[in-house]
Amino acid sequence: MYQGSCLCGAITLEVHGAIDAIIHCHCSKCRKSSGTAYATNGFVNTADVQLKTGQALLAGYEASPGKVRHFCRVCASPIYSSNTQTPNKLRIRLGILDTDIVERPISHNFVSSKANWDELDADLPHYNGHEPSRHGKL
Ligand SMILES: [Zn+2]
Ligand SMILES: [Zn+2]
């Protein structure tokens, strides 16, 4: 079980399951949403996520049709995103986790959108879109 919280601590959650397909996303939406070079995101089962506190403070922004980026309305921490196409999955923002995890990132994605001051981690594969293993997984 993993625990996470937003910057102000109002929203706390638990993840009772594995985190899959962790990637560093360099797309412009993730850069703007996170305010930095990239966002590190992974899939969790919606049923595995338990909001412990702060549910009323969880706001959402529909950045593209059906895809909502959920964040804390007090401190603006990104928490996870949801997709109406895949209601059984959430894409959690790994930076909110307070506990160590056993899973590791598998790639850098959407590198064609990366900031030109961003030096990529040379050890991981780089893709112009999603990692190829994403297809057929959801
Ligand atoms: Zn907060
Ligand atoms: Zn992205």
- What does residue 13 show for φ and ψ, rounded to 5 degrees? -145, 165
Dist. CA 10 → ligand 2 center (Å)? 25
Give the Å distance between the CA of 138 and the centre of ligand 2: 17
Domain boundaries, the chain: 2-134
Ligand nearest to the CA of 37: 2
pLDDT, tens digit, 9 for 90 and up, residues 68-112: 999 999 999 999 999 999 999 999 999 999 999 999 999 999 999
Other residues' Cβ atoms within 10 Å of the Cβ of residue 47? 11
Ligand nearest to the CA of 78: 1
| pLDDT tier at 123, thresholds 50, 70, 90 | confident
CATH topology for 2-134?
glutathione-dependent formaldehyde- activating enzyme (gfa) (3.90.1590)
pTM over 0.95: no
3-state class percentages of the chain: helix first, strand second, coil last, to nearest 5: 15, 40, 45
Q: Does 138 score more than 70 pLDDT?
A: no
Q: What is the pLDDT of residues 8-55, one digit of tens each?
A: 999 999 999 999 999 999 999 999 999 999 999 999 999 999 999 999
Phi, psi torsion values for 38, nearest 5 degrees? -160, 165
Greatest alpha-carbon span in the chain: 41
